[in-house]
Amino acid sequence: MSTIELLDLSVRAGSTTLISDVSLNVEAGTWCTVIGPNGAGKTTLVEAVAGLRRPSEGSVSISGEPVGSMSERERAKRVALVPQHPTVPAGMSVRDYVALGRTAYHGLLRAPSALDRKTVDTVLARLTLDEFSHRDVFTLSGGERQRMVLARALAQSTMVMVLDEPITGLDLRHQMTILELLQKEVHECGLTVLATLHDLTLAGQFADRLVLLDHGRVVLDGPSGEVVRSEELEACYGMRLRVIDVDGADVVIPVRH
Q: Tell me, what's the pLDDT at 169?
A: 81
- The CATH number assigned to the domain holding 248 equals 3.40.50.300
Do the bridges between strand 217-223 and strand 209-214 make them parallel or antiparallel, or are there none, so unpaired?
antiparallel
Does residue 119 belong to any structural domain of this protein? no
Residue 180 contacts by C-beta under 8 Å, 6 or more apart in sequence? none
φ, ψ for residue 93 (rounded to 5)? -80, 160
The pTM of the full predicted model, rounded to 2 decimals, is: 0.92
Q: Are 82 and 153 in contact (CB under 8 A)?
A: yes
Q: What is the DSSP letter of 142?
A: H
Mean pLDDT of the chain, nearest integer: 92
Single-letter residue type at 182: L
Q: Tell me the per-residue pLDDT of 25-36, one tens digit each, with 9 for 90 and over.
A: 999 999 999 999
Q: How many domains is the chain partitioned into structurally?
A: 1
Does residue 132 belong to any structural domain of this protein? no
User: How far apart (Å, rounded) are the C-alpha atoms in residues 2 and 5?
Assistant: 6
User: How far apart (Å, rounded) are the C-alpha atoms in residues 211 and 200?
Assistant: 12
Domain that holds residue 179: 2-84+158-254
Q: Tell me, what's the pLDDT at 2?
A: 60
- Supply the DSSP string of 9-64, one letter for each residue: EEEEETTEEEEEEEEEEEETT-EEEEE-STTSSHHHHHHHHTTSS--SEEEEEETT
Does residue 197 belong to any structural domain of this protein? yes
Q: Tell me the per-residue pLDDT of 198-239, one tens digit each, with 9 for 90 and over.
A: 999 999 999 999 999 999 999 999 999 999 999 999 999 999
